[in-house]
Structure 1
Amino acid sequence: MANGFSFRRSDFADDFLFGVATSAYQIEGASFGGAGPSHWDTFAATPGNTKNAEDGAVACDHYHRYETDLDLIAGANLDTYRFSTSWARVMPDGRTVNPEGLDFYDRLTDAMLERGIKPMLTLHHWDMPAALADEGGWRNRAITDHFATFAGHVIDRIGDRMFASGTFNEPWCIGWLSHFLGQHAPGLRDIRATARAMHHVLVAHGKAVDVLRAAGQDNVGIYLNFEPAEPANGDDGDAEAALTYHAIYNEWFLGALFKKRYPRRALAGLEPHLPEGWRDDMELIARPIDWLGINNYTRKLVARAADAPWPSLEEVPGPLPKTDMGWEISPESFAWLLSWIAESHTGDLPLIVSENGMANPDTLADGRVDDAARIAYLQAHIDAMKGVIEEGVPIKGYTVWSLLDNYEWALGYGKRFGIVHVDYDTLERTPKASWHALRDALARR
């Protein structure tokens, strides 16, 4: 359909849940409510790390405007809201609880329930208290206990009203993107730091799962990101490079969580740098969970970089249409990914598409935002998901990223992922055509 979606809520099972996601640092405003400095604040304050040195100090001011934003979620007939808690807001120095922080999430939770929205918690979406980053952050095993303590404070306050509770968003970004590629806070390019971060975030997940279970949580999971990798050309070197990329990006976390092991191809480079006794953590890491969240936006074409050290690969631009991030649009890869995860690792475990969406150069004109490209993107991916569900893959929900245009990390405020437009000068919200299309498609009859 040119101006809307062809799918309808009735095309899915009665208990299938449609939702939308955000993250704390990207929308709340880190300078409000007693939040302490996070390592994203210090990363953004370092010249050259973020576009225009932009940070999340104000962001979308969701801290003060959350009721308006929740009205937009309810108005679009969405079932779930996947939000995150800011570690630096709840525990500004990493050790002391800030009552204002917990009070905010208490108000936010009640406001969701008042509107009939199911709260889906993400404990950690990347904003570590700067005081803990000073002590080594994810390189230091002590962070795993600090995180478990943080999880306990959050769940003791709002856990009784959560529909679902997840530990981490995208551990690959926490580990690899931030410590090996250096593109996110803390901005390191250090393979030893990478290996430890990749492992310690999983140890922290296991400890947090124990904390959540002890608090009575019975719908616990984690949100992983995935990118199907394909060889750029048909030669053996590119095929090997694609398999290495796949091992690091897609298999490292799945393998630990569901098979109690890391993939051989990833260990080839990371094992010498893992902490001593890392194998002893696998039972803890693989604590049973109730669902897996899957974040996906694109695929990658990978070529061998023969003269480069491990992992000896490089990403190659692909031929498919691209989003404003330069990411290829590949619903076929999305369908393959969903099937592969279930067949290779998770079996009958419920799966939730916890992030899917696109950045688009949206413009506000005469009070309207025509984001037909986003509608087409979402429709194609929902169609691909529906086909996989019909083949028996147990997908129980689909979550759009994102509710609002927001702070896109190192890219600042230039990339717009929202179904709601935000004017960053006035902070006025304007629902885009995709919001209106979702409202119509998800209407209950």
Structure 2
Amino acid sequence: MRSRSRRMLAAFTAAGTALVLGASPAAARSPAPDRVAPLGAEFLWGVAASGFQSEGSAPDSNWTRYIAAGKTDDPLRDSVDFFHRYRSDIELARELGVKVYRIGIEWARVQPRPGEWDEDGLRFYDTVIAAITDAGMRPMLTLDHWVYPGWEAERGGWANPDIVTDWLANARTVVDRFAGANPLWVTFNEPAFYLVNEMRNGGLPVAAAPAMVDRIAQAHNAIYDYIHTKQNAAMVTSNVAYIPGGADDLISGSVLDRIANKLDYIGIDYYYGLSPDALGFDPADSWRNPLQPEGIYYALDHYSRKFPGRPLYIVENGMPTENGRPRPDGYRRGDNLRDNVYWLQRAKADGMNLLGYNYWSLTDNYEWGSYTPRFGLYTVDVLTDPTLTRKPTDAVPAYAAITRAGGVPADYRPTREPKNCSLVAPVDSCTDPVRLPG
């Protein structure tokens, strides 16, 4: 999950809404069923995390430098110390009954200096991936979750014309090492917001933004081909953050259009909704941002029409709280999880090719500058609890029940009614909105 700028999202939403006001609606939806079917034995339930946000013991990188420069609210410390506690965290995921565990392979950890790969860093990921597979789960490996080595920052980061060469040298080393574990692959996490955060933190001049887009697309396309030479039937994506307000193609399209032919599945991150009675977004108090579980249906529908027949995977979905306290809107984590899963089942029933779902995240972690937003199934008080104890939320038994049953019960009814004419999907939610039965 990522920091978002209120003004940036407001501009995105206004522009996107203007673009779609004259659009033609999709074909009429099926009537709301009285009961929903489970998602089936092949469906991939998962959990997600990133390296920098959870590992601790962080090597020199662009992000350790942003923190040292005072660009964040909280120090990183050792985050939730996944670096030393990965076995127990993987066991927590196994107990949930999930089939996929997403992690990041930190470039800064495995290549601390130009041309040199650290065998200890690579062995760390050997043991983590082995623990995931030994627990009966499939790894999902992210090659770039917004972090690059300090030496690359000194070369200019994504403004450096040679970064693609550097990036690919590391990525090929990672693929060579781990393709045998048959992972799902994510090349770049949310490229559009990667770019935004680099500009916001001073890692990228605004004038270099188009070059970063081109370089990310070039790197993705090259490593996609390389992965397919090393792993039979590889599944590769670059996940995108679904932007409410009809602005998704406007924001994510700059990269997505360049890599569209080299995506084996469409990875989608869905968090927030947008409606006339809840227009504000604020990264400083994300726990107040509006949540609309039916929006996950609209996000899947959008991409199922953009990429007909292509498998869809919700790579991230979750809800923030403020230091684990109840949300102002009263929404509980377990209820939000069940409500989102209900809409996954509706999407599958309506013919969308839904492959899997990851909850963000297994534990609380460092939310790109702050420990206040909490997204974890297990909460961790990094700043006040030196033991870093994993404390289960009400979503832990909820998710375990969901993975056992393949979804919510057939007669489940979401705790939140869908909003008509919601800005989460400005045309469809007015002309042909999703509804609940009855």
Shorter-chain TM-score: what band? 0.7 to 0.9
Give the match for residue 15 of structure 2.
none
TM-fit CA distance, 1:79 = 1.0
Give the match for residue 427 of structure 1.
388
Q: Is the 8 A contact 1:421 1:432 kept in 2?
A: yes
- Aligned mates of 1:9, 1:168 — CA distance in 2: 34
Deviations 1:234-270 (A, max 9, x none): xxxxxxxx6xx44442322332222xxxxxxxxxxxx
Give the match for residue 66 of structure 1.
86
Give the match for residue 280 of structure 2.
317
SS in 2 for 1:229: coil
Relative distance call for 1:374 and 1:228 in structure 2 (3 A) is: same
Relative distance call for 1:438 and 1:213 in structure 2 (3 A) is: same
- Aligned mates of 1:391, 1:67 — CA distance in 2: 39
Give the match for residue 382 of structure 1.
341
Kindly report which structure 2 residues correspond to 1:113-132, keeping only aligned pairs within 5 A, or say none: 113-132=133-152
Kindly report which structure 2 residues correspond to 1:22-421, keeping only aligned pairs within 5 A, or say none: 22-31=49-58, 36-47=59-70, 49-52=71-74, 54-55=75-76, 57-179=77-199, 182=200, 185-188=201-204, 190-230=205-245, 245-258=247-260, 286=261, 288-300=262-274, 316-317=279-280, 324-344=286-306, 346-361=307-322, 363=324, 373-410=332-369, 412-421=370-379
- Aligned mates of 1:323, 1:78 — CA distance in 2: 30
SS in 1 for 2:351: coil
- Aligned mates of 2:126, 2:340 — CA distance in 1: 34
Q: Is the 8 A contact 2:47 2:361 kept in 1?
A: yes
- Aligned mates of 1:384, 1:444 — CA distance in 2: 15
Aligned partner letter, 2:394: A
Q: Is the 8 A contact 2:236 2:264 kept in 1?
A: yes
TM-fit CA distance, 1:211 = 2.1
CA RMSD of aligned residues (A): 2.6
SS in 1 for 2:185: strand
Aligned partner letter, 1:228: I
Superposition TM-score, scaled by structure 1 size: 0.76
- Aligned mates of 1:9, 1:103 — CA distance in 2: 44
Aligned partner letter, 1:253: V
TM-fit CA distance, 1:210 = 2.2
Task: Detail structure 1 runs of 4+ shifted over 6 Å in the superposition.
Answer: none
SS in 2 for 1:443: helix
Relative distance call for 1:117 and 1:39 in structure 2 (3 A) is: same
- Aligned mates of 1:157, 1:226 — CA distance in 2: 29
- Aligned mates of 1:435, 1:186 — CA distance in 2: 38
| Alignment coverage as a number of residue pairs | 363
Relative distance call for 1:192 and 1:217 in structure 2 (3 A) is: farther
Deviations 1:318-341 (A, max 9, x none): 7xxx98443211223321121111
Q: Is the 8 A contact 2:80 2:365 kept in 1?
A: yes
- Aligned mates of 2:198, 2:274 — CA distance in 1: 19
- Aligned mates of 1:150, 1:251 — CA distance in 2: 26
Q: Which has the higher contact order (CA 8 A, sep 6+)?
A: 2
Aligned partner letter, 1:256: R
SS in 1 for 2:321: coil
SS in 2 for 1:379: helix
SS in 2 for 1:51: coil
- Aligned mates of 1:211, 1:133 — CA distance in 2: 25
SS in 1 for 2:404: coil
- Aligned mates of 2:231, 2:136 — CA distance in 1: 22
Aligned partner letter, 1:317: G
Superposition TM-score, scaled by structure 2 size: 0.77
SS in 1 for 2:80: coil
- Aligned mates of 1:192, 1:362 — CA distance in 2: 37
Q: Is the 8 A contact 1:172 1:249 kept in 2?
A: yes
- Aligned mates of 1:129, 1:289 — CA distance in 2: 26
SS in 2 for 1:199: helix
Deviations 1:181-212 (A, max 9, x none): x0xx4454x43221111221111111211221
TM-fit CA distance, 1:376 = 1.8
Give the match for residue 21 of structure 1.
48
Q: Is the 8 A contact 1:151 1:211 kept in 2?
A: no
SS in 1 for 2:217: helix
Aligned partner letter, 2:280: P
- Aligned mates of 1:14, 1:362 — CA distance in 2: 35
Aligned partner letter, 1:206: N
Relative distance call for 1:361 and 1:137 in structure 2 (3 A) is: same
- Aligned mates of 2:89, 2:207 — CA distance in 1: 41
- Aligned mates of 2:57, 2:202 — CA distance in 1: 17
Any stretches of 5+ residues in structure 1 without a counterpart?
Answer: 1-7, 231-241, 259-285, 303-314, 366-370
